[in-house]
Amino acid sequence: MNVTNIGINTFRNCTTLTSVTIPDSVTSIGDYAFYGCIRLTRVTIPDSVTSIGGSAFSGCSGLTSVTIGNGVTSIGSSAFQNCTNLESLIFKGMTTAQVKSTFTNYASWGISEDKIHGELDT
């Protein structure tokens, strides 16, 4: 059986979770799915994912890097709120300007604008 979504609150406050591999069969990450996973350090979201729910990674204070696949078309508010060690949010297949024009709600994600990057800028 293939997992197609990571539901609301699935790993919420799972403080022992240090890494996660999201399979290519997943198309959505629900609200609060990884909320409070303080030991989670890096996440790569595959191209198959189209939506990331609100507060999905909020409170993941150990998170330093997130790479977002080019299939994502929707990111909920506060998705990365209180990810105090997050150094970069990298969007595959896009420039930073494209990210900001595509995701007009980026200011609501809970991270500073200077941490949002398009893969094509490097």
Cα gap 2→22, rounded to integer Å = 11
pLDDT of residue 121: 87
pLDDT of residue 56: 98
Residue type, 99: V
pLDDT bucket at 122, cuts 50 / 70 / 90 = low
Q: Is the pLDDT of residue 69 over 80?
A: yes
**Nearest residue to 49 via CA among 77, 74, 76, 66:** 74
pLDDT in tens, 13-44: 999 999 999 999 999 999 999 999 999 999 99
**Nearest residue to 48 via CA among 30, 64, 28, 66:** 28
In sign, the C-alpha dihedral spanning 36, 75, 77, 85 is positive
Mean pLDDT for the chain overall? 95
**Nearest residue to 86 via CA among 107, 105, 114:** 114
Cα gap 34→59, rounded to integer Å = 9
